[in-house]
């Protein structure tokens, strides 16, 4: 419950910092908006610093670590040699940006993905049966243990869950529309000319349902 309250608090702060609550609270760059950013940064940098200390002390490796989490992954991804030496090449700023993206921009999209996945699985009993069989065969719990974390090597054996998750993301992408802005004039692969500073909007929802893809 405390974790949930903390995440909701960060969610409100993120909206205060650059989102929909700004007008309601009459935020200004020199007032509450700035204070909200400071609180978020303090929380994130504190967690990053603590995680670096734990990783340096125990020299945690990606594989086989029971307490592995996304923050650890962001710190040690593509940095195995650095972990062995107790050195992490990613700056706190980079890790902070990735963590903030998950807390603020990714909370709703991350939540919607599992909902669609579970709904699709519940409406396809055969797929559900295959997923459960594969989980039981590859992620068996030893002894009286009820819960445990699984590492990447174990999860890579789950073919049916992986396929089902990808299919759920194809049919119901958490972000159905996206856009990109061109920096310079260019020509798209199909020959379409686009000018400088042109906004291109594309539908991931439609792309996932196109027969030619």
Low-confidence ranges of the chain (pLDDT < 50): 1-7, 9-10, 13, 16-25, 62-64, 80-87
- Per-residue pLDDT, 102: 75
Residue where a domain stops, chosen among 75, 105, 135: 105
Q: Specify if 119 maps to a domain.
A: yes
* C-alpha–C-alpha distance, residues 168 and 162, integer Å: 10
**The model's pTM:** 0.59
* C-alpha–C-alpha distance, residues 98 and 86, integer Å: 21
- Per-residue pLDDT, 29: 52
Q: How is residue 33 written in tokens? A: 């908006």
User: What Rg do the C-alpha atoms of the chain give, in angstroms?
Assistant: 22
136 and 182 co-located in one domain: no
**∠ at Cα 20 (19, 21), nearest 5°?**
100
68 and 11 co-located in one domain: yes
Q: Is 124 helix (H, G, I), strand (E, B) or coil?
A: coil
In the chain, the number of structural domains is 3
Q: Which domain holds residue 190?
A: 177-207
9 and 66 co-located in one domain: yes
Q: Specify if 15 maps to a domain.
A: yes
- Per-residue pLDDT, 2: 41
- Per-residue pLDDT, 5: 47
Q: Where do we find the tokens 């909200």?
A: 36
* C-alpha–C-alpha distance, residues 144 and 45, integer Å: 38
Output phi, psi for 201, to 5 deg. -105, 130
Q: Which helix (H) or strand (E) covers residue 193, if one does? A: strand 193-194
pLDDT tens digits, one per residue of 165-206: 999 999 999 989 998 899 999 998 989 999 999 999 999 999
Output phi, psi for 16, to 5 deg. -65, -35
Q: Specify if 139 maps to a domain.
A: yes
123 and 136 co-located in one domain: yes
| Alpha helices, DSSP H, located in 60-147 | 70-76, 80-85, 92-100, 107-122, 125-138
Q: Specify if 84 maps to a domain.
A: yes
Output phi, psi for 51, to 5 deg. -65, -40
CB 104 within 8 Å of CB 37:
no
- Per-residue pLDDT, 4: 41
- Per-residue pLDDT, 86: 43
31 and 52 co-located in one domain: yes
Output phi, psi for 180, to 5 deg. -135, 150
Q: Specify if 212 maps to a domain.
A: no
Q: How is residue 52 written in tokens? A: 């670096």
31 and 42 co-located in one domain: yes
* C-alpha–C-alpha distance, residues 56 and 83, integer Å: 8
11 and 94 co-located in one domain: yes
86 and 133 co-located in one domain: no
93 and 53 co-located in one domain: yes
């Amino acid at each position: 419950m405390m974790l949930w309250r903390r995440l909701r608090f960060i969610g409100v702060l993120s909206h205060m910092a650059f989102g929909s609550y700004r007008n309601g609270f009459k935020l200004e760059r020199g007032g509450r908006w700035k204070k909200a950013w400071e609180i978020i940064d303090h929380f994130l940098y504190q967690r990053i610093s603590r995680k670096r200390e734990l990783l340096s002390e125990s020299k945690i490796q990606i594989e086989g670590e029971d307490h592995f989490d996304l923050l650890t992954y962001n710190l040690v991804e593509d940095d195995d040699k650095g972990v062995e030496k107790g050195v992490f090449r990613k700056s706190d700023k980079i890790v902070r940006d990735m963590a903030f993206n998950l807390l603020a921009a990714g909370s709703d999209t991350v939540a919607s993905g599992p909902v669609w996945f579970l709904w699709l699985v519940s409406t396809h009993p055969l797929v559900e049966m295959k997923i459960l069989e594969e989980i039981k065969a590859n992620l068996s719990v030893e002894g009286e243990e009820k819960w445990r974390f699984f590492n990447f090597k174990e999860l890579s054996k789950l073919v049916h869950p992986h396929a089902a998750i990808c299919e759920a993301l194809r049919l119901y992408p958490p972000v159905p529309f996206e856009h990109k802005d061109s920096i310079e004039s260019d020509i798209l692969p199909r020959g379409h000319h686009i000018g400088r500073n042109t906004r291109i909007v594309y539908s991931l929802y439609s792309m996932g349902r196109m027969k030619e893809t």
